[in-house]
Amino acid sequence: MYFFGAFCGFPFCRGSIFSLSPDSRAGRTSEVAVNELQSLVLIVLLACLVIGFRDWWLGRREDRRLRALDLAGVDQMSGPEFKSYIGRLLESQGFKRVKVIAHAGDFGVDLVAHKDGTKYAVQTKRQTAGVSRHAIADLRAGKVHHSCERGMVVTNSTFTNGARIVAEETKTELVDRRLLAAWIQRFQENQGEGP
């Protein structure tokens, strides 16, 4: 506390290491240098606070935008936006360490997530047509490649009968438009819990 008070030039710290004899020319020069240093430090601290607040505010604004989305908003997203949004929804469903796979050669895996000690390979499909069995087959290879125990395909659409059969055979979880709507609702309801 003494150092902080001395550094900021509070009156009760007149005997500090920063106070110099006013009669000394060198002392006045040092005092000016200390005052300039104090001003510079305060400006830097204020700039850091402003930037930190701005980043926090923009993050909260983005979070509110995501929470306000409905299925119609999801239908308008690009593929990468949908992938990122599904990552946020997975977190609201209790998944941890959700990682977006953003490189070529992902073997049909868009996200890797963990829940209850199980590692999931997740494929996202934002499309208007029903998701075919080929998506589930691709995910099966990706699940092995990413060392995952379980697989999941999430879509804003539906799944074909062939996709449902292959998913049952491979124990792949399917999240269709109806279940996705429930996830979005839960995400919106958890609005008050954290960022």
Q: Concatenated DSSP letters for 113-136?
A: EEETTEEEEEEEE--SSPB-HHHH
Q: Which CATH class is domain 78-192?
A: alpha beta
4-62 pLDDT, tens digit per residue, is 444 455 444 444 444 444 555 555 677 777 777 787 787 887 777 777 666 665 555 54
- Residue predicted with more confidence, 149 or 186: 149
- Write down the mean pLDDT value for the chain: 78
pTM, two decimals, is 0.63
Q: Where are the domains of the chain?
A: 1-68, 78-192
82-129 pLDDT, tens digit per residue, is 999 999 999 989 999 999 887 766 788 999 999 999 999 999 999 999
Q: Which helix (H) or strand (E) holds 139?
A: helix 133-145
Identify the burial level of 97 via C-beta atoms within 10 angstroms of its C-beta, where 0-12 means exposed, 13-18 middle and 19 or more buried. exposed
- Residue predicted with more confidence, 49 or 139: 139
